[in-house]
Structure 1
């Protein structure tokens, strides 16, 4: 919606009106109208900059990501449970994993996905690289972990990436 040539975001106006009514502590026509008026004035006088978080939702990619993520949760949980119940120390390694994307949003989603799955934890984030702690995978698994993270990164970019993010992975 535009008022005197300036864009006024209606969801923000509604939110400010709700806060206004809540602060007054009583739902009445006057409070609601006063909240809407205050929200319109505030959003018109103090416009917020347009921010692009760098995330787009691609339904087919999102479904693939969620299915794979669910499967990874199940298999990783089983692997960690096995090593917890197994006598002795479980195998653990530190692996430096390069990333192909330069997008902060994509990097954060990859980090959250990795840290959510049992048996992996992001210890440090560098420009275009992550230091991971991997638990429960015996032997030298650095190359396998790097391949797994590259595949995860590709699924994250397919689910949430912009055109620029997708081009970086080509």
Structure 2
């Protein structure tokens, strides 16, 4: 479909029709009754709002690469299974599990990639992002159930996850940042 059909210009300003439709739907929902007047009122309100208050074009900085995404999902699934098993073992054992706070430096400067990394790390049982320092590109993680060289293991795991996330979703600039 031609994208120009979805965003026609009215008096020189773009009016995105999908957004107008969404605003009309919200309008009808707020009035609580589906009637011709409410639908037309919603469409007019949506047209006026999108024309008078145009949204800036935003690039979230995310691209999707299916093969890299499949690798990421496979590795993430394995991390979920292994981490869940590790946490379960420590829950059924007597005594407190080993817990560490580890500071990890990220190689990417992209905010969107950092957010995806933080979400993935927090979704894995036994790992929690405690703090994020954007200026230093560092995350502070609470890690449960690992013993030995915890900092080294965690840094290696995070670097691998970071590489997989950037490969699956990053822009060319994001991929260039990783050695």
- Aligned-pair CA distance for 1:146: 0.6
Match of 2:29 among 7, 22, 47: 22
Q: Mark the runs of 5 or more structure 2 residues left unpaired by the alignment.
A: 1-7
Tell me the TM-score normalized by structure 1: 0.94
- Aligned-pair CA distance for 1:5: 1.9
Secondary structure of residue in 2 paired with 1:122: strand
Q: Does 1:157 align with 2:166?
A: yes
- Aligned-pair CA distance for 1:103: 0.7
- Aligned twin of 1:148: 157
Distance 2:56 2:106 in 1: 30
Q: Does 1:91 align with 2:90?
A: no
Match of 1:53 among 52, 60, 82: 60
Equivalences, count: 170
Secondary structure of residue in 1 paired with 2:148: coil
Q: Provide the alpha-carbon RMSD of the alignment.
A: 1.3
Match of 2:76 among 54, 69, 83: 69
Secondary structure of residue in 1 paired with 2:96: coil
Distance 1:106 1:139 in 2: 29
Distance 1:24 1:93 in 2: 53
Secondary structure of residue in 2 paired with 1:13: helix
* 1:104-143 to 2 correspondences below 5 Å: 104-126=111-133, 127-143=136-152
1:74-121 per-residue CA deviation (whole Å, 9 max, x = no partner) reads 100000000111112211112111100011111111111111101111
Match of 1:8 among 12, 15, 37: 15
- Aligned-pair CA distance for 1:161: 0.9
Q: Mark the runs of 5 or more structure 1 residues left unpaired by the alignment.
A: none
Distance 2:34 2:120 in 1: 42
Distance 1:157 1:75 in 2: 22
Secondary structure of residue in 2 paired with 1:123: strand
Distance 1:56 1:129 in 2: 23
Displaced runs of 4+ in structure 1, greater than 3 A? none
- Aligned-pair CA distance for 1:58: 1.8
